[in-house]
Amino acid sequence: MVIKSVNLECVCGVTSTLPKNQLPEIAFAGKSNVGKSSLINAVMNRKAYARTSQTPGKTQTINYYNINDAFYLVDLPGYGYAKAGKEVAQTWGKLIEDYLYQSEALRQVFLLIDIRHEPSDNDKMMYDWVRARGYEPVIILTKSDKIKRSQLNKQISVIKNSLKLTEGTLVFTFSALNKDGKEAITDYIEEIIK
């Protein structure tokens, strides 16, 4: 996919009205600190357009990136940050849920999970939310460079079993460090926005 233009077109907080976009939307969801901003920057071919941070929980809004005037890449708030406090966590949960239930342009949800760990309760809840909305989430296992190649398949199996993935669910691995997996992900995005 050739990225000609990227524009952060809309930022929605709790009190915002979500835009009714005509262009297709591809949403990215994941726990705080899973590497969501790094993946989004890689997909957009930008170094630091989506804010990355050492501090988890930076994305507290829904960010709509207009890509090539062809589709929106939607960055959902990171969830499950322990220090965020219950009230803030509920706010993020409501934002994500509202988006999943209100967006009419949503084509696909990518759910990011750290390949080194078993999915958390929040990951499982997000997977169930997305499925309840009628979508089959695509799983992206991030930080694939942090484990040995020989451990990849074992970890993929652990995560598939833990989430009880349905047969045929797409699973990609991704490394922000060496961009392994980026091409497969962008090729897939290109397919679904046609």
Distance (Å, rounded) from C-alpha 77 to C-alpha 193? 23
Q: Tokens 């047969």 belong to which residue? A: 167
pLDDT tens digits, one per residue of 139-179: 999 999 999 999 999 999 999 999 999 889 999 999 999 99
The answer to whether residue 85 scores a pLDDT higher than 80 is no
Query: Is pTM, for the whole model, over 0.75?
Result: yes
The Cα 87–Cα 153 span in angstroms is 38
Q: Where is 12: in which H helix or E strand? A: strand 6-12
CB 159 within 8 A of CB 139: yes
- Dist CA 47 CA 67 (whole Å): 15
Backbone torsions φ then ψ of 144, nearest 5 degrees: -65, -20
pLDDT of residue 84: 47
CA dist., res. 132 & res. 71, Å (int): 24
